[in-house]
Structures are given as structure tokens and as C-alpha cells.
Amino acid sequence: EADIYQTPRYLVIGTGKKITLECSQTMGHDKMYWYQQDPGMELHLIHYSYGVNSTEKGDLSSESTVSRIRTEHFPLTLESARPSHTSQYLCAAQQGGGDQPQHFGDGTRLSIL
Amino acid sequence: GENVEQHPSTLSVQEGDSAVIKCTYSDSASNYFPWYKQELGKRPQLIIDIRSNVGEKKDQRIAVTLNKTAKHFSLHITETQPEDSAVYFCAASKGINYQLIWGAGTKLIIKP
């Protein structure tokens, strides 16, 4: 079934570690997004991509980086995790333009000790 | 840039009653307005959307209305049930080359 997959679902890790959150979609959608969300709170856009080799920063300042080497894969990397990075990270994909719905993955709950 | 305001931030209604959540947008060029439901610990899911060439859209117990003149759109849920308890997000977009701009969310509580 076409879907969007995020791994890991939960991650507890120490300060200073390098982390990569994985996001893959089997829908063939061009656009992909990363949001940061504290549980039940506002969605903050941190990165987006409109296609292969295209990445942009979102509205929320973030110390993370992303890459888009393949259409289906959009990983997010934190070079040196800090407690302030503790949050939920949601990946989304969208076909066509801004007038189409975004489809979300289940998210990664990240806790930095 | 575009700004979307969502009210109320928390809404508590008796089971069986109706619930209304309202969003106001700032950019009159916005033409796409989706609503998402996020249950506790789950992903946001699209429940209904409307485009600017339509004033109202219904899907069973949920409906969305759009007032382009006043630049607001509302989500209406009738005959609320416990499973309607969730956080609801509205969003707006100007179209193909623009992102979705999100409201801050409304926590809907259905009281038994």
C-alpha cells in the first residue's frame, strides 16, 4: 500500500550524538516536508523539498539538515543533538502543488538526554 | 506573508452536540483550505478540504464553509461522538507554487 514511512518511531539518545531520522514514501510524490511538533501543538515547518536535489529551509530555525537524492527518500540529520531538539518530527509528502493535500507519516518522537 | 488564525484553541462540547471551529486567513489569493484531524499519538489526517470556487462541502457529519469576502472558513461537526476527540488543524494555500500555512490547532473534547 502506498504510504509514507518514518523510522525510528521513538529515539532516546544522549547529547552530542549525530542523529538521522528517516522518511520514505512509496507514492512517488514530488514534494516532501519536515515538521517539528510538540505533542498536540502547532506544526512548524523546518525543511521542504520540491524534488530531487531541491531543499529549502522552512519558517522555524533549525540546526538540522536534509537531503533529497532520491524522490522517495528525505532524511533529516542533526549533527549534534541537544535537549532543545526534544520533540516530535513529522514527515509529509504532497503530489502536485500547494492546492493538494499533504500526507503525513507516523512521526519520530525524539528525546535528547 | 499569509497568516492563518484558528479559534478556539480548546473546545469542549457535550456528546451529540455540534462543534464549530473557525479559521481566518490574511491573503485573499488563498484558494485551498484543508482540515486535518490528529488523534493522540497519531499522524495528522486530512478529513475534508475545500477550494475557493465552492462555498460549502459536506461529508457525512462534517462540513466546511468558506466565506471569501470575510476571509474565513469553518469546520462543522454535527452529532459529535467520543471518537471526534482530537486536535484539529486548518490550513490555507495560494496554490501550486505555495506551501500550506497552518493554524495553531484546536483541541476538541467530547464530554460523555
**CB nearest B43 (choices: A33, A90, A100):** A90
Q: Give the model's pLDDT for residue A39.
A: 85
Q: How far apart are CA A94 and CA A33, in angstroms?
A: 8
Considering Cα of B15, then B80, then A44, then A108, what sign does the dihedral take?
positive
A73, A24 in Cβ contact below 8 A?
Answer: yes
Mean pLDDT of chain B: 95
Closest chain B C-alpha to A58 CA, distance in angstroms = 10
pLDDT (tens digit, 9 = 90+) per residue, B38-47?
999 999 999 9
Least confident piece of the model among A22-26, A58-62, A73-77, B42-46: A58-62
Strand A108-112 vs strand A10-13: parallel, antiparallel, or unpaired?
Answer: parallel
Our CA dihedral for B21, B24, B29, B35, rounded to 10 degrees, sits at -20
Q: Give the model's pLDDT for residue A83.
A: 95
Is the predicted pLDDT of residue B14 greater than 80, yes or no? yes
Compute the C-alpha angle A94/A9/B34, nearest 5°: 30
Residues of B in contact with A90 (CB under 8 A): 43-44
pLDDT (tens digit, 9 = 90+) per residue, B37-96?
999 999 999 999 999 888 999 999 999 999 999 999 999 999 999 999 999 999 999 877
Q: Give the model's pLDDT for residue A60.
A: 81
Q: How far apart are CA A77 and CA A63, in angstroms?
A: 9
Q: Give the model's pLDDT for residue A1.
A: 66
Q: Give the model's pLDDT for residue A10.
A: 97
Count of CA atoms in the C-beta half-sphere (13 A) of A12: 1
Q: How far apart are CA A71 and CA B52, in angstroms?
A: 30
- Contact across the interface for B95 and A98, Cβ inside 8 Å: yes
Q: Give the model's pLDDT for residue A11.
A: 97
Mean pLDDT of chain A: 93
**Chain B residues interacting with chain A (CB cutoff of 8 angstroms):** 31-32, 34, 38, 40-46, 49, 51, 87, 89, 93-100, 102, 104-105, 107
> What's the pLDDT band for A40 if we cut at 50, 70, 90?
confident
| Chain B residue at shortest CA distance from A102 | B46
Q: Give the model's pLDDT for residue B15.
A: 98
